[in-house]
Homo-oligomer: A and B are copies of this chain.
Amino acid sequence: MTESSIIYGKNAVIEALESEREFNKILIATNSRNDAKIERIKELASKRGIVFQFVDPRKLNQIEPEGRHQGVIAQLSPIKYVDLDDFIKNIGGNIVILDGVEDSHNVGAIIRTCVCAGIKGIILPSRRGVLINSTVEKTSAGAINRISVIKVNSLVNAVQKLKENDYWVIASDHHAKDNYYDINYTDMNFALIMGAEHAGISKSLLKLSDFIVKIPMLTNFNSLNVSNAAAIILFEGVKQGVNQRVKQEVNIRAK
């Protein structure tokens, strides 16, 4: 993360919270004294729906090694996040949900592939995994500006809301019975959940899913990188969409 994407020190963080700046999250050292300024930071963060997490002070020292952080570091976002309600109401379209993907290069590559595949929104959880940072932005090759990035405090709530709004939820899990190409992606609004590199998708999200699909392998080496797995599934959807368009054009010409 570049230096410009963090802010540290109590007063600086309060000032940023009172401005329009876009936050990823706020880290507070577990040993920091709970004074009036820390209280103010927590209050302002809660009001704006920004997550604050109590972390080992050594983590703050890693991020700001000169020790001027006063126990508080805010991670800022290079882009403006979109609200899920706003997305559903005013934007719409297919969505990819990343359940705690940890590697910034993977998140950037997935966003790039999403835009190529016509995906309109990507949902990231605010507490686990990577949010948008400068590495994600760079790896996305400009795609970050052509998709709505939605940050939510609860993926379970987000998925429930999507289902209430007629989204079909697809989870990618290598224990699944069905193959990813057995689904018709063209006759629904879908939200595709991809899991973290090691942990996969959390059980609570698998339970909420309408389809659970796997990518079958020809070998016993079953270890696709998450961005490559996302690409394989999303481009099955693209292929179906392209084939449907071709058929429609043939039908129009036939009339």
Contacts and interface: CB of A to CB of B under 8 A. Distances in A.
B242 A231 contact: no
A215 B239 CA distance: 9
B179 A221 contact: no
A224 B216 contact: no
Q: Can you tell how many copies of this chain the complex includes?
A: 2
A118 B242 CA distance: 27
Interface residues of A, number: 35
Interface stretch (A39-47, A138-146, A161-169): A138-146
A241 interface: yes
A217 B146 CA distance: 15
A38 interface: no
A169 to B, nearest CB: 21
A185 to B, nearest CB: 11
A181 B181 CA distance: 13
A225 interface: yes
A66 B181 CA distance: 55
A118 B218 contact: yes
Nearest to A228: B231
A4 interface: no
Contacts of A239: 179, 181, 216
A235 B117 CA distance: 16
Contacts of A222: 116
Given A142-B223, A143-B221, 9 more contacts: A112-B224, A112-B225, A115-B223, A116-B217, A116-B219, A118-B219, A179-B239, A216-B239, A231-B231
28 contacts: A109-B227, A112-B224, A112-B225, A112-B228, A113-B224, A113-B228, A115-B223, A116-B217, A116-B219, A116-B224, A117-B217, A117-B218, A117-B219, A118-B217, A118-B219, A141-B223, A141-B225, A143-B221, A179-B242, A181-B239, A216-B238, A216-B239, A216-B242, A217-B238, A224-B231, A228-B228, A231-B231, A232-B235
